[in-house]
């Protein structure tokens, strides 16, 4: 699984070249998430990924709280045929502001 730093991620997001996907739970997402991120809880990846992430060739940046769930989700997505998935790790490393 490709790893991406928050600094690399913010450049892609600001340029409109990628979409962030938060694989935490809805209550964690509500407390604060990367602006514009889509919510896809880890437990829903296998059943809802195609609904939340319809383009399997788009650049998707996966993150969670510490990086454990994002790595699991990224591997699952690659296994489902997603071609451009990067694991951004934990939101705890994100220093660019959050929205609620």
Active site residues: 64
SS3 annotation, 35-52:
CCCEECCHHHHHHHHHHH
Rounded Cα–Cα distance for residues 68 and 83 (Å): 20
Q: In the chain, what's the furthest Cα-to-Cα distance? A: 31
Residue 39 phi/psi, 5-degree rounding, is -100, 125
> Beta-carbon neighbour count of residue 82 at 10 Å?
20
């Amino acid at each position: 699984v490709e790893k991406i730093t928050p600094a690399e991620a913010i450049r892609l997001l600001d340029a409109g070249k990628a979409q962030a996907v938060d694989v935490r739970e809805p209550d964690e997402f509500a407390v604060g998430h990367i602006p514009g991120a889509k919510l896809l809880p880890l437990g829903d990846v296998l059943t809802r990924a195609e609904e939340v992430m319809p383009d399997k060739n788009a650049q998707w940046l996966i993150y969670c709280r510490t990086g454990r769930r994002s790595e699991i989700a990224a591997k699952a997505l690659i296994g489902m045929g997603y071609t451009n998935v990067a694991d951004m790790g934990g939101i705890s490393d994100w220093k660019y502001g959050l929205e609620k």
